[in-house]
Amino acid sequence: LWTDVATLLDRAREWVLALVAGDSFYDPVATALVWSLAMWAAAVWAGWMVRRHNRPLWGVAPAGALLSTTISYAGASPHTLLPLLAATLLLIALGRHDARERRWQATGTDFSREIRRDLTVWVTFTSLALVMVAALAPSLSVRGIVESVQRWTAGQVDQTGQITTSLGLEQQPGQGSAIFDEMRAAGLPRRHLVGSGSELSRQVVMVIRTDDLLETAPRPSPPRYYWRSLTYDRYDGRGWYTGRTETVEYEAGQPVVSSAEWPAHRVVRQEIEVSGDWGRLLHVAGTLVTADQDFSVARRSPEDIFAASIEASTYQADSLVAVVGEEQLQSTGTDYPEWTRNRYLYLPDWVPDRVLALARDLTATEPTPYDRALAIEAYLRTFPYTLDVPLPPPDRDVVDYFLFDLQQGYCDYYATAMVVLARAAGLPARLVVGYFSGTYDADQARYIVTAADAHAWVEVYFPGYGWVEFEPTGGRPAMERTAEPPPIEWSEPEESLDSAAAGQSKLAQSWWLGMLGGLASLALAGVVWSAADSWRLRRLTPAVAVTTLYRRLRRHGQRLAVPMRAGDTSYEFGASFAKRTTDLARGRYWKAVLAPAIQEAQWLVSLHVQASYTPCLPDADDHGQAIQTWRRLRRRLWAAWVRQGVTGFKVGWFNQSAGQDTLVDSNVPASGPVTDA
């Protein structure tokens, strides 16, 4: 045993030393030990604070902070916090009731033990309702603060990664708008390529087939596509982030853009099969048009898409790819749309002057915007390509560091430098993240895209033609463009993707199924609660059970605004209850539902008087009959409460302690309960 303990401690020591040294070292045993100690400490603290100090919020806070931090880094669903939130609300309510009971006992105040049971039921339902509202309602956030924090921490990704890797935390692929939030502040998006080896080329990310390459019609040189995933518009000196976006949900077949509005483009249909856990971003060549399944689009404006996501791992998508020649691009002017000028010519004030001067020197003699972009691209392609580079210093501008000190690097450096130089030269440009074409499998007419194909490139905007790709990275083949636009040899898809009606039908079906499932769950919970309540009542003695039911009847009377005064006898309460119920039982339907409640309540009142003030206590038959009567009466009481809300009665509450029914009753009891026909 001691040998095993020594081994465990030694592994833990090595893990701690590696963590202190800033190395990524994942030891499953040491990690399990650390997490176990953390959870044990959180549990002990919670138990101590709740039991000894009756402070559940302070007790649960460390566990909540630990869970929140883990979820935040791993990108897991925040819904994991909901059970903890519900339990905290329940503990707070019950803890305060415990304090009240202790105070009542200290002062000799009589109170009913039934209060705790009723409070537990109502607080449970209220907590669940609040948690459901919190889960379903849109969250309110100050996007600017979030983006600032994300950009500030972008430079700390690697230091954080060393700790989280040692703790065994892995970031999970996001879903819906969550994945957009994760990608808004990317820093240098392809930083994970640094120091990577050949193992990335063996990790297949996706397989793509396009309609312009058929097995029956092979081509000697298949088109080279760039599979677009994300576009970034904001540079802050250390990396990239995107401005404010809105998320729009699209149904299957619903177009994001119209192909008629994009001249010199052709529609390409792709069939994409994503392998493994590579996220839920929607990848297409060029500009997304639509997909055959429901998808989400995050956009800065209707004409400017940041990213799209889709839940399916296999889908079809249509997109627009530019078909334009050099002469056409050289003939474009500088009449840029306002949204392009405002967003894609922006540079922060702290970009070093020598970077701006270099942009002027490279493009000063170039006659057209296209020629200026080519000059910048050609200059950057002279830099050696390598993944064996250090990370940029945190106090240096990334582009300045790359152009004048490092002078070698990988795609992020090249693309970032070209976008900054292009904007400094007056060219609207943006950074695009996605994947290079991949390896073309001629036998299957498909592109095989691996993790090694992860790439960042540049798109420059040309009036009349939109975004055009440029390849400044020296490690990738240069762009090949002819003087004249290539002929469009491929016809557009004849059939449209699934119509929006199919997606709408599926959405409606899911909504109805969810609603029916929720109603069924509530009904099941009601049945279970009713059965448990009946079982508990049967375990009581007949006299105690009858007294318990009478107190419940009085509480329902308060909800129904039954007039009650201090000193009322049980029969006087019964008479007031009957009058109030008669007022509510107006109309043929409500009379049929509520009228039997009068005799049922009078019978329970009479049985309570018998149990409290006569030597002849209720027997087992009365016990069982009282429980059955109460089950019927309870449904009618809730119906009366609904009736009261519908009719808009003004509810007047008259509070009375349950322990004050001590007067001797003289009214003649009812003959027996009314049974359902």
Same domain, 295 and 321: yes
Is residue 197 predicted with pLDDT exceeding 60? Answer: no
Per-residue pLDDT, averaged over 324-340, amounts to 91
Strand blocks (E) in 238-303: 240-241, 246-250, 265-274, 284-285, 287-291, 295-301
Residue 293 sits in a domain of what CATH number? 3.10.620.30
Per-residue pLDDT, averaged over 95-106, amounts to 85
Whether 93 maps to a domain, the answer reads: yes
Half-sphere exposure (Cβ direction) of 53: Cα atoms closer than 13 Å: 11
pLDDT band at 385 (very low <50, low <70, confident <90, very high): very high
Structure confidence at residue 675 (pLDDT):
36
pLDDT band at 318 (very low <50, low <70, confident <90, very high): very high
Taking each helix axis from N to C end, the angle separating 620-647 and 542-559, rounded to the nearest 10 degrees, works out to 10
The 10s digit of each residue's pLDDT in 458-502 is 999 999 899 999 999 998 988 888 877 665 544 555 566 654 444
Please give, one letter per residue, the 3-state secondary structure of 398-420: HHHHHHHHHCCECHHHHHHHHHH
Backbone angles phi, psi at 332, to 5 degrees: -75, 150
- Of the candidates 126, 143, 160, which is a domain's last residue? 143
- Of the candidates 455, 480, 505, which is a domain's last residue? 505
Interacting residues of 514 by C-beta distance below 8 A, sequence separation 6+: none
Same domain, 42 and 106: yes
**Residue 250 near residue 297, CB atoms below 8 Å:** yes
Structure confidence at residue 528 (pLDDT):
78
Least Cα distance to 383 among 415, 360, 345 occurs for 415
Same domain, 86 and 133: yes
**Number of folded domains in the chain?**
3
Structure confidence at residue 178 (pLDDT):
60
Is residue 165 predicted with pLDDT exceeding 80? Answer: no
Whether 667 maps to a domain, the answer reads: no
Domain that holds residue 571: 521-660
pLDDT band at 120 (very low <50, low <70, confident <90, very high): confident
For 662, the token pair is: 């001590």
Structure confidence at residue 155 (pLDDT):
47
Structure confidence at residue 376 (pLDDT):
96
Structure confidence at residue 28 (pLDDT):
60
Whether 245 maps to a domain, the answer reads: yes
pLDDT band at 277 (very low <50, low <70, confident <90, very high): low
pLDDT band at 19 (very low <50, low <70, confident <90, very high): confident
Q: Which H or E run includes 86?
A: helix 81-107
Q: What is the DSSP string of 6-74?
A: HHHHHHHHHHHHHHHTT-----HHHHHHHHHHHHHHHHHHHHHHHHHH--HHHHHHHHHHHHHHHHHHH
Same domain, 187 and 107: no
Name the residue type at position 144: G
Per-residue pLDDT, averaged over 563-592, amounts to 85
Structure confidence at residue 101 (pLDDT):
85
Q: Which long-range contacts (CB under 8 A, 24 or more apart) does 530-537 make?
A: 530/631, 534/627, 534/631, 537/627, 537/630
Cα–Cα distance between 185 and 170 in angstroms, integer?
18
Burial class (CB in 10 A: 0-12, 13-18, 19+), 133: exposed
Per-residue pLDDT, averaged over 172-177, amounts to 48
Output b/e per residue, 150-172; b: 16+ Cβ within 10 A: bbeebbebeeebbebbbbebeeb
Structure confidence at residue 193 (pLDDT):
52
Cα–Cα distance between 280 and 314 in angstroms, integer?
10
Same domain, 343 and 423: yes
Structure confidence at residue 208 (pLDDT):
94
Same domain, 485 and 360: yes
State the Cα angle at 560 between 618 and 635, rounded to 5°. 60
Is residue 258 predicted with pLDDT exceeding 50? Answer: yes
Whether 363 maps to a domain, the answer reads: yes
Which one has a higher pLDDT value, 28 or 530? 530
Is residue 657 predicted with pLDDT exceeding 50? Answer: no
Same domain, 499 and 546: no
The 10s digit of each residue's pLDDT in 132-150 is 887 766 554 444 444 455 4
Structure confidence at residue 75 (pLDDT):
63
- Of the candidates 505, 535, 568, which is a domain's last residue? 505
Pairing mode, if any, of strands 454-462 and 429-435?
antiparallel
Name the residue type at position 97: H
The 10s digit of each residue's pLDDT in 438-452 is 999 888 889 999 988
Structure confidence at residue 390 (pLDDT):
84
In the block, which residue shows the tokens 């691996």? Answer: 450
Which one has a higher pLDDT value, 421 or 130? 421
**Residue 454 near residue 193, CB atoms below 8 Å:** yes
pTM above 0.85, yes or no: no
Structure confidence at residue 203 (pLDDT):
83
Structure confidence at residue 24 (pLDDT):
54
In the block, which residue shows the tokens 């309110």? Answer: 140
Same domain, 487 and 543: no
Least Cα distance to 403 among 441, 376, 425 occurs for 376
Same domain, 268 and 299: yes
Same domain, 295 and 339: yes
Candidate from 26-35, 245-254, 391-400 with smallest mean pLDDT: 26-35
Same domain, 648 and 563: yes
The 10s digit of each residue's pLDDT in 501-559 is 444 445 455 556 666 666 767 777 777 777 888 888 888 888 888 889 888 888 888 88
Whether 638 maps to a domain, the answer reads: yes
Per-residue pLDDT, averaged over 241-249, amounts to 88
Residues linked to residue 285 through DSSP beta bridges, in sequence order: 227
Per-residue pLDDT, averaged over 601-628, amounts to 88
Per-residue pLDDT, averaged over 117-140, amounts to 76
The 10s digit of each residue's pLDDT in 287-304 is 999 999 999 999 999 889
Which one has a higher pLDDT value, 311 or 643? 311
Same domain, 415 and 561: no
Chain mean pLDDT for the chain = 79
Whether 342 maps to a domain, the answer reads: yes
Whether 486 maps to a domain, the answer reads: yes
The 10s digit of each residue's pLDDT in 339-349 is 999 999 999 99
Whether 160 maps to a domain, the answer reads: no
